[in-house]
Amino acid sequence: MEKFTRLDALVVPLDRANVDTDAIIPKQYLKSVQRSGFGPNLFDDWRYLTPGEPGQDHSQRPLNPDFVLNQPRYAGARILLARENFGCGSSREHAVWALEDAGFRVVVAPSFADIFFNNCFKNGVLPVVVEGAVLDRLFAAVAGCEGYRLQVDLQAQQLVTPQGEVIGFEVDEFRKYCLLNGLDDIGLTLQQAEAIREYERKRRQEAPWLFA
């Protein structure tokens, strides 16, 4: 998993509440268990004017010009502003894979669905919870300023606006440690690799029939 320390990036506003995981990555794309390749299908039903299927050349599908991610001013954005209950619906981890594959490292919202929130940390995406009034100010600022960027400092637990306003946010210390060090569940386990090997050596001596 890629480490997350600091990010200075363009912000895109998705001004919709209760965005569920089927909207983030539709069900037809869940056949693959690879973590990559889902970026072109992020928000697929909103992004394109025609239905999509796995294996298509999505570059040939007509884009919906009214969808915010298709607007040129937001090209290359890595921070997503969203409304309450982002990531609700089914527990598909593919939703976070699609966001990460499309380049997003931070999602800022007033609330997240629990499973989606947990999946973000396990896949290198930082979900930032801010109060509704703060979020309203950010939405207004993004709308009024093309090229609006935020600085995100995970160690300091701060968002910093172009005007220098500092917005603090909370994050669990263990999750923060994992993101700062790029450790997913497998990475955490491998930190104990030598202890695991030593246990296996002892078990081979104590119960060799188990390894026959």
- What is the average per-residue pLDDT within 48-56? 94
Question: Of 1-5, 66-70, 90-94, 181-185, where does mean pLDDT reach its minimum?
Answer: 181-185
- Average confidence (pLDDT) over 63-81: 97
Tell me the C-alpha distance between 15 and 82, whole Å.
6
Residue 54 confidence (pLDDT) = 92
Give me the half-sphere count of Cα atoms (radius 13 Å) on the Cβ side of residue 3. 7
Q: Which CATH class is domain 6-181?
A: alpha beta
How is the chain split into domains, by residue range?
A: 6-181, 183-212
Q: In the predicted model, what is the mean pLDDT of residues 85-89?
A: 97
Cα separation, 80 vs 82, in Å, equals 6
Burial of 166 (0-12, 13-18, 19+ CB in 10 A): exposed
